[in-house]
Amino acid sequence: MTVITKKLGGSVAIVIPKAVATEMRLVEGSPLELTTTSQGILLRKQGRRARRPLARIVAQMKPAAYRRRRRELGDDPPVGKEIW
In this structure, is residue 77 part of a structural domain?
Answer: no
Query: What is the DSSP code (8-state) at residue 78?
Result: P
Longest dimension (CA), the chain: 71
| 80 in a structural domain | no
What CATH number is given to the structural domain containing 19? 2.10.260.10
The answer to the question of residue 79 being in a domain is no
Q: What are phi and psi of 29, to 5 degrees?
A: 95, 0
Nearest residue to 16 (alpha-carbon basis) of 4, 7, 8:
4
In a domain, 29, yes or no: yes
Answer yes or no: is 11 within a domain: yes
Number of domains in the chain: 1
pLDDT tens-place string over residues 38-52: 999 999 888 777 788
Could you tell me if residue 1 is inside a domain? yes
- pTM higher than 0.85: no
Mean pLDDT of 59-68: 74
Domain span at 58: 1-70
Percent of the chain past pLDDT 90, that is, above it, reads 40
